[in-house]
């Protein structure tokens, strides 16, 4: 909480206990230098959180944008038929053997920084540029990961294009979102000419569940800049967590739409050679027929046939294996409406498919020299993109039981540039290299053994399995019956085989939806139609503010003692709003009251603190950090001008804030108690 200047301080107790006070910390406190002149009204014990049903805005269509690390796309459904999901048009261009219902997350800007193209068009145009000309164009790919990895993310964070030039990350993301907005609206107008132009669309953006609040707010700010929605109609945009979206979609699937990896024959074959999940659940189906109540509630809730094989209360895990991250969540199916309850906070890490690409780049560095690869990427950026495309095509064919080597084409620009830089050809480099599982083929290609290709997967795949095993060991998730593998990387036969081999013997059924690469996108559409489907979530962190408590000798540290007006206070006390791992229902509110420090004050600003521990006592404890600020914008009132007509002094002005921690974003609303009018309230995680 920001400190209050000594002059004009107005404290007010709310509640029965005087143990907490709005009096500020003394000079030298971590908060003093950021004072904005507020006096908190937060009393004693927090009132019990209250649950409030979220209000649903009216809309005609839901458009979901799955903004991925390696590929992106959109889908939509109309409110009149919410489960009829329309995928975006097939994209022009693309790679042989790759479904084109998504497009690469590649953005191309002109040398002046203006938008040129996105997706396959951007990639192919950039690839065809003259090498000298390409140096001036700004080409961005796989840039979503930068938002996750940035430790000090702000609205001024910059991204580096492949040519080394930098640009504001917010503008880069806004260019991409604006592209999808324009494409989606054009398609909607063609399909439904009578669709209203304004406020007809609810937009949904997907983000990894492990993203922190600043990254989620960043995506929302980019959406505002792109014109998806306005700040005044913020509720038109929903942030969907990717594994949650997948879970929402999977609960709608029928058994013939799933592949059960545990039913693959021993020594199973290549990708796709496995049986449907139907036979695996035949016995369970027979047992469930004897329990009409369990089946009835699931069918009446619109839950898919697979879930009719499960009982209310059953638990399952979703592993979203994407381009940049692996994202894990554990849900429990609830009755009577088939809603979902999160059992453990979202976990995961940077173990996406780009890890395999990085391993390939490191392999090239071992063969040709890391300094050469760095120079080549900088001076021949378009040729480097060409090389990564060639590797991606071969990566998709890798499998645990594949026989025969894989050939990877080297661009002529790579071969020529290497000869000029090193004075000998790439074949000589391969002969001199200590890497003996990569050879030079007579067709002028790198020839890599299957074992070598599979080795490139191992660090990333091992990280995924370790995260899943660590989550399964948590007591809160005992009893998990199913593991859904979803996301683009889940298409990999190498990953599927490794996960089944490691976890199948533990009795965990590993299941893959047929349209695994589109699971999150389709689920995001369903989530947009019914965002209340995930009823309970777990808070990933402990959140609160700093307050003063009545000093108690022997319990409080002497260095926290503040004496003011003859009263003894303990400074820097961490007052908790919600604890890490705490279950929080959708719409559940934590309420606090605050009072302006002086008449006429137009803004109240309170610092928010967070930590991973549940039992922090002070905002100065190790691990506790300032993570954001609660802002309350106040309208002038007659009381600000002095006594009223009867000559009575102006009364204290109470602003009651209500925070919700059970949604995909932390939300806040506020009311001026004296007028019962709404107060503009916001939580800023990006200006820390």
Nearest alpha-carbon partner for 510 in 477, 480, 470, 483: 483
3-state secondary structure of 126: helix
- Report the alpha-carbon distance of residue 670 to residue 659 in Å, rounded: 9
Q: What is the pLDDT of residue 312?
A: 67
Nearest alpha-carbon partner for 14 in 652, 687, 633: 652
Q: What is the mean pLDDT of each run of 10 residues along the chain (688 residues)?
A: 31 33 38 34 40 61 94 93 85 56 92 95 89 90 84 91 93 97 92 79 95 95 96 94 94 81 53 39 39 37 52 85 93 85 92 94 94 91 88 89 87 92 92 87 86 92 95 92 92 94 91 92 95 95 92 92 91 95 95 84 91 94 95 77 46 86 95 90 88
Where do the H-state alpha helices sit in 236-380? 242-250, 282-289, 292-300, 305-308, 354-368, 370-379
- String of DSSP letters for 212-229: -HHHHHHHHHHHHHHTSS
Q: What is the pLDDT of residue 650?
A: 54
DSSP letter for 474, please. Answer: S
DSSP letter for 282, please. Answer: H
SS3 of 334-349: the string is: CCCCCCEEEEEEEEEE
Q: What is the pLDDT of residue 521?
A: 95
- String of DSSP letters for 380-425: -HHHHHHHHHHHHHHHTT--TT--S-EEEEPPHHHHHHHHHHHSS-
Q: What is the pLDDT of residue 262?
A: 77
Q: What is the pLDDT of residue 525?
A: 96
Q: What is the pLDDT of residue 214?
A: 94
- Report the alpha-carbon distance of residue 182 to residue 226 in Å, rounded: 10
Specify the pTM. 0.83
Q: Is the peptide bond before 336 cis (omega within 30 degrees of 0)?
A: yes
């Amino acid at each position: 909480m920001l400190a209050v200047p000594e002059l004009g301080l107005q404290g007010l107790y709310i509640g029965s206990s005087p143990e907490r006070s709005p009096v500020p910390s003394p000079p030298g406190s971590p908060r003093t230098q950021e004072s904005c002149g507020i006096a908190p009204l937060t009393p004693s014990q927090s009132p019990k959180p209250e649950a409030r049903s979220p209000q649903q805005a009216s809309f005609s269509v839901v458009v979901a944008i799955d903004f991925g690390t390696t590929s992106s796309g959109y889908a939509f459904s109309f409110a009149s038929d919410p489960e009829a999901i329309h995928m975006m048009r097939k994209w022009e261009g693309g790679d042989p053997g790759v479904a084109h219902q998504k497009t690469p997350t590649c953005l191309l800007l002109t040398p002046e920084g203006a938008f040129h193209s996105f997706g396959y068009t951007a990639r192919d145009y950039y690839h065809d540029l003259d090498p000298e000309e390409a140096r001036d164009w700004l080409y961005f790919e796989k840039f979503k990961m930068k938002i996750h990895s940035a430790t000090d993310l702000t609205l001024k964070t910059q991204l580096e294009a492949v040519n080394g030039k930098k640009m504001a990350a917010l503008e880069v993301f806004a260019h991409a979102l604006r592209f999808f907005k324009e494409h989606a609206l054009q398609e909607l107008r063609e399909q439904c000419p009578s669709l209203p132009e304004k406020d007809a669309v609810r937009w949904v953006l997907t983000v990894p569940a492990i993203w922190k609040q600043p990254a989620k707010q960043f995506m929302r700010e980019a959406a505002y800049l792109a014109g998806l929605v306005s700040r005044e109609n913020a509720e038109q945009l929903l942030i969907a967590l990717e594994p949650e979206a997948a879970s929402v979609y999977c609960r709608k699937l029928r058994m013939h739409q799933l592949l059960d990896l545990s039913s693959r024959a021993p020594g199973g074959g290549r990708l796709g050679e496995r049986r449907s999940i139907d036979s695996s659940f035949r016995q369970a189906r027979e047992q469930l027929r004897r329990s009409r109540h369990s089946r009835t509630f699931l069918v009446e809730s619109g839950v898919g046939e697979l879930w009719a094989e499960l009982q209310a209360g059953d638990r399952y895990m979703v592993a979203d294996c994407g381009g940049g991250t692996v994202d894990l969540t554990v849900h429990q199916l609830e009755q009577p409406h088939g809603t979902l309850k999160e059992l453990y906070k979202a976990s995961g890490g940077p173990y996406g498919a780009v890890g395999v690409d990085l391993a390939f780049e490191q392999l090239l560095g071992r063969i040709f020299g890391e300094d050469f690869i760095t120079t080549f990427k900088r001076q021949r950026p378009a040729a480097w993109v060409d090389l990564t495309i060639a590797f991606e095509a071969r990566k998709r064919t890798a499998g645990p039981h594949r026989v025969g080597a894989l050939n990877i084409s080297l661009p002529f620009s790579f071969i020529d540039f290497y000869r000029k830089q090193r004075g000998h050809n790439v074949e000589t480099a391969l002969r001199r290299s200590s890497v003996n599982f990569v050879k030079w083929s007579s067709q002028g290609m790198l020839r890599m053994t299957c074992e070598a290709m599979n080795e490139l997967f191992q660090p990333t795949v091992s990280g995924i399995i370790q995260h899943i095993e660590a989550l399964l060991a948590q007591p809160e998730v005992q009893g998990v019956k199913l593991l859904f593998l979803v996301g683009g990387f889940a298409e990999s036969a190498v990953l599927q085989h490794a996960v089944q081999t490691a976890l199948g013997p533990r009795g965990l059924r590993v299941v893959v939806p047929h349209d695994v690469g589109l699971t999150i996108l389709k689920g995001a559409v369903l989530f947009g139609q019914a965002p209340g489907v995930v009823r309970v979530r777990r808070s990933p962190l402990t959140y609160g503010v700093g307050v003063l408590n009545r000093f108690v000798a022997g319990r409080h540290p002497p260095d926290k003692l503040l004496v003011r007006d003859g009263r003894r206070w303990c400074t820097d006390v961490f007052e908790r709003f919600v604890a890490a791992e705490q279950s929080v229902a959708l719409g559940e509110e934590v309420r606090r009251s605050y009072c302006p420090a002086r008449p006429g004050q137009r803004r109240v600003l309170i610092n928010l603190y967070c930590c991973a521990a549940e039992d922090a006592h002070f905002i100065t404890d190790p691990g506790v950090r300032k993570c954001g600020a609660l802002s309350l914008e106040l309208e002038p009132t007659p009381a600000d001008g002095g006594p009223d007509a009867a000559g009575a002094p102006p009364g204290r002005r109470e602003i009651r804030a209500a925070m919700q921690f059970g949604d995909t974003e932390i939300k806040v609303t506020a009311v001026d108690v004296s007028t019962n009018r709404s107060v503009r309230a916001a939580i800023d995680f990006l200006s820390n």
